[in-house]
């Protein structure tokens, strides 16, 4: 094998400039590999190459043809298939990603520190459940003020309903979402509207159904355990080809789909003790691609290790991820907002930890964790705020509840507004989960559409067991049921009604304020103070000669707060308790000579007059 | 728990300055912990402290007392026992390491780059099989010219006969070797003679017999696999106390036994995905100790990962190990010397790889390995030669053969001399295995002295299986048999006889020459050239204005070598084929006008006249 080329894909079926199909598949243990073209009633012989690869160059395999690989008589779809029109068990289809006519030439990406993320699930975002469904709603998102949509995984999964984490063809875009060309079209349209596209990709496991990779080579290793079974083989025998497979995959999304950033699912479950960690190697390839293409691409890790190594630059010995999700911000916020301290929440004490996360990103940066039963985390001192992505809810935090309740079903309308301010005015990159901006009442449930009966039974049983301790006697929504999926769809028609319309307007306002009043972490002149007894957090911040004051009251009662400013001549910029947002306040909150009365569950934003 | 103090041990039984016993044991899951003193017929209550530790301060437990810990009614020896006078199943004994009267005040250690290692196994080095046995032979070792003995593990193992890798009390010195005070005495004596002491310690597993650690806490984890079962828990729940246990252990050897360097067994089997790897954390503690004590201590890793991260300084993001064993030098050398290319030797091609190892330490520094089926290793470009320890044989390479043959039983007398020159005049730190210096004819077999019958059977069966493919029908020496152990002892009385005396003299010479002609890796003016067809390696080297030429002929025939020096006025310094070392040469080897006739299996060392 040649070194990995960032300018083109090598595995699977690709076309030379002369229009010949170049076929390449890794099958180190096969004695014979054929390419079977049922449409042409043709079987082509592949030739064994170095390091277990097989290849041929042919004019017989044409665009639009279906194909399988036949390994010693057994036929399988292509592990690097670009399209599975009939699903995970059907043939692969020969397509090209190079004929789409892009209209986003002037797009080069948004600076990461300006990203405002909006996480969405293609299948439930719209009634259609497709990329073109999303396209129709881009105007709405643009109007909301977000500038980056983060799309849950689109790699081909079994059936029509899945969060995306059961994908088994990392290179193929889900047929029921519209396939690869529709995905290109969506991204193109986003770019024309100034919206970046973040794609969630899963490099820590593959789904259980339709997964034939082990028949090809050692894609998995039992050296390490993951929550989903055998780990992907990034450092054991035969790992070279596996590393190449995932690096080519990442590069494809950037290069051939114009994806702006990848969100790498659960990188803590990517086990790699090689001298060069696969994430670092990936980063080095992405840097080369950026150099060649002139466009910027980001790598964002979901990581629960609190290990700065992941987000430190490669030059400093890190893996070079551009940013990471900070679940601990979420946990601290939820506990502060009244969430019961059980499960992983037991580690969080409320507003003190929320202030810690506002200061340092990680709550655990070398502190003993009761939940983990060990000292946990590293110091983030050297890092800037755009390394951290925060949220008050996401697909996991919602969907991993038995009933899939969004925050809207768990806390008061008032508290939702306070939590939104926390996220959107934080010194980090904020992320919304689809629908939260208008307090979507529908749940986001866990759903799958597997076909293997035993697997379906195992998934059902797994969910039942997971919730049996805390939800005795309650019935778990059936993950396989279509109704479970349909219940999880957004209710678009309520956006303009009542409190939903109010919330939407409030979110729009917050996003606008973010550009004015948010600060960068590590800036001088920011002081964050938690008042544990009254569950209040206060932030003072200087920005461009302006002085801002954030007051966040998480308690369910109004609180009196001493303010050190003698004259109290602060100007109220935003009051989440304002009656226009269905709050209880009319005009300014009560100000006493040296103190302030803060309404229950409210967020206040003041500006001090210019000095 | 307080942070780890490098100045004193905290776990186990230690004495305060007032003479009270301070007892500390980690048992996070116990409901009751007692200290049982059978001699006193006394049971003391320990009090539960933070993080699962239990402690008491008492005057009832006295020096010389035996004791057990009783956890919820079950009694076990102390995991941090300093002495097990009755073996692994008997009681622990209260001793102190602070009453030995040291006479090595002026000793501060030898610079690492001057170390000449001699690996020995206490049980078979002398007839006595004890530390005092070694003490009696120090004069001999001093006379040989080595300046560092590396002692195979001495942590208490089951029975009387063991290589040491089945130890189960990392803090207790083997009773049958003489226990802790005898070990202190040996080290003291070494230092008085100018000999450094390197101790082999095992932090990647514990032995199977007498291992009660799991009854105390989560010392092991099944997150990772090792060749010896569950990995030691350095990063899973409850790992804090386990990390502390091994760091305190390492510090104890340096501080309380005056050990000069630790050789850390198979660090590739120390699995740790924490933000700070346990080896790096250990290094940081050792650096503190060095600062406090004024003595130097080294950490040497046995590592088969070819990953420079292990030996790079902490400041450069490495783990900071001072040096590592380079098995690949051995493998390349053995294949060059005619070893069959099977098993891990299949990766090595002979003299080209030997030259590669002379140049770069690692043979695999980013090259594809057929044996490992992946691209393997990292570049050593930035590293100096004292980072690498090389040898032509060691306990493993000998003892892991079915019949435990030393090199002396496998290659000719001539070839042994050539291999010795390769090691002792390399740009790396050389290591001998006990007895090789006089061509000890006895094997070094694999032996154990377990008492559990099933375990013994499993060990026997394991050995049989290991060798069944290549040694069909041959009978494997019984690992449990005392005869197997006795056969492995050095034959001291043959040292002064015949070819053994010659070899000894030759080794003494080589060691002396090393100080004059060896070079440092990365020096300018060193040129290493391999002649693959004739199996010859030639090294030209400038040192302090002198020019030296090494010629190594590994072929079994004399070879004619073109020499670029026009006048051939080289002075022969050393000729391993000289008749005084039982070779075939009388005087200089034949020199033709522009070429040299090099005797079969010989080493020649020339110096060019000063220019």
What residue spans define the domains of chain A?
112-450+458-512, 525-608
Tell me, yes or no, if B67 comes closer than 8 A to chain A by beta carbon: no
Q: Taking the C-alpha atoms of A597, A599, A603 and A608 in order, what is their torsion angle to the nearest 10 degrees?
A: -20
- Which residue of chain B comes nearest to A272, CA vs CA? B273
Are the beta carbons of A57 and A21 closer than 8 angstroms? yes
Give the pLDDT confidence score for residue A564 in this predicted structure.
67
Q: Which residues of A touch B368 (CB under 8 A)?
A: 51, 240
Nearest by CB to residue A240, choosing from B271, B308, B375, is B375
Give the pLDDT confidence score for residue B600 in this predicted structure.
95
Q: How far is the CA of A288 from the CAs of A4, A182, A308, B157, in angstroms? A: 11, 27, 23, 54
Q: In what order do the strands lie in the sheet with B571-575?
A: B526-531, B536-543, B546-553, B602-608, B571-575
Tell me, yes or no, if A367 comes closer than 8 A to chain B by beta carbon: no
Query: Fold identical between B12-93 and B525-608?
Result: yes
Q: Which residues of B touch A372 (CB under 8 A)?
A: 237
Using CA atoms, how far apart are residues A402 and A443, in angstroms rounded to an integer?
10
| pLDDT level of residue A594 (50, 70, 90 thresholds) | confident
What does residue B59 show for φ and ψ, rounded to 5 degrees?
-100, -5
pLDDT in tens, A344-364: 899 999 999 999 999 999 999
Give the pLDDT confidence score for residue A568 in this predicted structure.
55
pLDDT in tens, A104-159: 999 999 999 999 999 999 999 999 999 999 999 999 999 999 999 999 999 999 99
Closest to B167 in 3D by CA, of B180, B152, B182: B152
Cα–chain-centroid distance for residue A148?
A: 11
Tell me, yes or no, if A225 comes closer than 8 A to chain B by beta carbon: yes
| pLDDT level of residue A516 (50, 70, 90 thresholds) | confident
Give the pLDDT confidence score for residue B92 in this predicted structure.
98
Give SS3 for B119: strand
Give the pLDDT confidence score for residue B351 in this predicted structure.
97
Q: What kind of architecture, by CATH, is found in domain A112-450+458-512? A: Alpha-Beta Barrel (3.20)
Q: What is the mean pLDDT of each run of 10 residues along chain B (611 residues)?
A: 85 94 98 95 96 96 97 98 97 97 95 97 98 98 98 98 97 98 98 98 96 97 85 96 98 98 97 96 98 96 97 95 98 95 91 97 97 96 94 94 94 98 96 98 96 94 86 86 97 94 97 88 84 95 85 95 69 93 80 82 86 53
- What value does the mean pLDDT of chain A take? 94
Tell me, yes or no, if B498 comes closer than 8 A to chain A by beta carbon: no
Give the pLDDT confidence score for residue A10 in this predicted structure.
96
Q: Which residues of B are catalytic, by number?
A: 265, 302
Contacts of A554 (CB under 8 A, 6+ apart): A336, A337, A338, A350, A351, A415, A418, A535, A536, A537, A601
pLDDT at A94 over 90: yes
ipTM of the complex: 0.92
Looking at the DSSP bridge assignments, the partners of residue A193 are: none
Using CA atoms, how far apart are residues A256 and A384, in angstroms rounded to an integer?
31
- Which residue of chain A comes nearest to B318, CA vs CA? A317
pLDDT at A589 over 80: no
Nearest by CB to residue B238, choosing from A224, A306, A374, is A374
Neighbours of A100 (CB within 10 A): 17
Are the beta carbons of B200 and B164 closer than 8 angstroms? yes
Give the pLDDT confidence score for residue A188 in this predicted structure.
98
Tell me, yes or no, if B40 comes closer than 8 A to chain A by beta carbon: no
Using CA atoms, how far apart are residues B330 and A160, in angstroms rounded to an integer?
57
Tokens in use for B285? 């503690």
Closest to A149 in 3D by CA, of A199, A110, A184: A199
Q: How far is the CA of B166 from the CAs of B48, B161, B209, B481, B596, in angstroms? A: 31, 10, 8, 17, 52
Name which CATH class applies to A525-608.
mainly beta
Q: How far is the CA of A82 from the CAs of A252, A342, B169, in angstroms? A: 10, 43, 57
Q: Which residues of A touch B317 (CB under 8 A)?
A: 316-317
Using CA atoms, how far apart are residues A508 and A487, in angstroms rounded to an integer?
26
Give the pLDDT confidence score for residue A298 in this predicted structure.
98
Question: Pairing between strand A374-376 and A526-531?
Answer: unpaired
Using CA atoms, how far apart are residues B604 and B598, in angstroms rounded to an integer?
8
What does residue A64 show for φ and ψ, rounded to 5 degrees?
90, -15
Q: Which residues of A are catalytic, by number?
A: 265, 302
Are the beta carbons of A249 and A170 closer than 8 angstroms? yes
Tell me, yes or no, if B378 comes closer than 8 A to chain A by beta carbon: yes
Tokens in use for B378? 């990292």
Q: Using the structure block, give the residue that is written with the tokens 């002139």.
A: A294
The pLDDT > 90 percentage for chain A reads 84
Give the pLDDT confidence score for residue A495 in this predicted structure.
93
Give the pLDDT confidence score for residue B592 in this predicted structure.
66
pLDDT in tens, A187-205: 999 999 999 999 999 999 9
B290 CB-side CA count, 13 A: 14
Contacts of A315 (CB under 8 A, 6+ apart): none
pLDDT in tens, B14-39: 999 899 999 999 999 999 999 999 98
- Which residue of chain A comes nearest to B51, CA vs CA? A373
| pLDDT level of residue A393 (50, 70, 90 thresholds) | very high
Closest to A321 in 3D by CA, of A364, A267, A367, A243: A267
Provide the CATH number for the domain formed by B12-93 in this structure: 2.60.40.10
The pLDDT > 90 percentage for chain B reads 84
Interface test with chain B among A29, A241, A275, by most B beta carbons within 10 Å: A275
> In A515-562, which ranges are E strands?
526-531, 536-543, 546-553, 559-562
Tell me, yes or no, if B3 comes closer than 8 A to chain A by beta carbon: no
**What's the whole-model pTM score?**
0.95
How buried is A1 (Cβ within 10 angstroms: 0-12 exposed, 13-18 middle, 19+ buried)? Answer: middle
Using CA atoms, how far apart are residues A594 and A279, in angstroms rounded to an integer?
53
Are the beta carbons of A147 and A197 closer than 8 angstroms? no
Using CA atoms, how far apart are residues B435 and B407, in angstroms rounded to an integer?
11
Using CA atoms, how far apart are residues A9 and A256, in angstroms rounded to an integer?
9
Contacts of A171 (CB under 8 A, 6+ apart): A12, A80, A81, A82, A155, A249, A252
Give the pLDDT confidence score for residue A473 in this predicted structure.
75
């Amino acid at each position: 094998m040649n070194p990995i080329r960032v300018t083109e894909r090598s595995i699977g079926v690709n076309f030379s400039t002369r229009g010949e199909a170049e076929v390449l598949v890794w099958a180190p243990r096969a004695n014979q590999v054929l390419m079977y073209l049922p449409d042409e009633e043709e079987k082509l012989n592949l030739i064994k190459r170095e390091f277990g690869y097989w290849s041929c160059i042919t004019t017989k395999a044409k665009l639009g043809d279906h194909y399988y690989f036949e390994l010693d008589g057994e036929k399988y779809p292509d592990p690097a298939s670009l399209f599975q029109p009939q699903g995970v068990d059907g043939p692969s289809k020969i397509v090209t990603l190079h004929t789409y006519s892009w209209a986003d030439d002037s797009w080069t990406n948004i600076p990461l520190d300006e990203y405002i993320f909006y996480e969405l699930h293609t299948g439930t975002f719209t009634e259609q459940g497709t990329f073109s469904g999303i396209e129709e709603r881009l105007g709405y998102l643009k109007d909301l003020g977000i500038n980056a949509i983060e799309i849950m995984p689109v790699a081909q999964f079994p059936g029509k309903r899945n969060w995306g984490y059961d994908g088994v063809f990392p290179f193929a875009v889900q047929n029921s979402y519209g396939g690869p060309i529709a995905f290109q079209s969506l991204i193109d349209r986003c770019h024309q509207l100034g919206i970046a596209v973040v794609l969630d990709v899963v490099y820590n496991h593959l789904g259980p159904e339709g997964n034939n990779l082990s028949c090809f080579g050692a894609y998995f290793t039992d050296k390490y355990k993951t929550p989903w079974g055998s780990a992907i083989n990034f450092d054991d025998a035969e790992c070279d080809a596996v590393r190449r497979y995932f690096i080519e995959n990442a590069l494809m999304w950037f290069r051939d789909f114009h994806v702006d950033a990848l969100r790498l699912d659960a990188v803590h479950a990517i086990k790699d003790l090689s001298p060069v960690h696969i994430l670092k190697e990936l980063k080095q390839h992405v840097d080369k691609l950026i150099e060649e293409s002139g466009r910027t691409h980001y790598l964002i890790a979901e990581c629960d290790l609190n290990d700065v190594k992941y987000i430190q630059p490669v030059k400093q010995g890190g893996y070079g991820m551009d940013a990471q999700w900070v679940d601990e911000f979420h946990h601290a916020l939820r506990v502060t907002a009244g969430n019961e301290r059980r499960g992983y929440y037991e580690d969080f004490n409320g507003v003190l930890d929320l202030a810690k996360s506002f200061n340092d990103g990680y709550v655990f940066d070398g502190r003993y964790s009761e939940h983990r039963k060990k000292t946990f985390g590293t110091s983030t001192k050297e890092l800037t705020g755009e390394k951290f992505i925060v949220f008050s809810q996401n697909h996991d935090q919602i969907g991993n509840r038995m009933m899939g309740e969004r925050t809207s079903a768990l806390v008061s309308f008032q508290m939702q507004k306070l939590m939104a301010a926390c996220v959107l005015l934080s010194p980090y990159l904020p992320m919304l989960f689809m629908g939260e901006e208008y307090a979507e009442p529908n749940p986001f449930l866990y759903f799958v559409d597997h076909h293997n009966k035993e697997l379906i039974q195992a998934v059902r049983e797994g969910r039942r067991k997971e919730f049996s301790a805390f939800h005795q006697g309650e019935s778990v929504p059936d993950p396989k049921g279509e109704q479970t999926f349909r219940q999880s769809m957004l209710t678009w028609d309520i956006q303009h009604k009542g409190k939903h319309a109010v919330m939407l307007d409030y979110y729009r306002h917050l996003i606008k304020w973010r550009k004015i009043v948010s600060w960068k972490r590590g800036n001088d002149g920011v002081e964050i103070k938690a008042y544990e007894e009254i569950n209040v957090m206060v932030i003072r911040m200087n920005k461009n000669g302006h002085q801002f004051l954030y007051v966040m009251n998480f308690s369910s009662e109004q609180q009196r707060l001493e303010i050190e400013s003698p004259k109290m001549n602060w100007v109220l910029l935003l009051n989440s308790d304002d009656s226009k947002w269905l709050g209880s306040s009319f005009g300014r909150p009560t100000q006493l000579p040296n103190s302030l009365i803060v309404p229950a569950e409210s967020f206040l934003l003041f500006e001090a007059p210019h000095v």
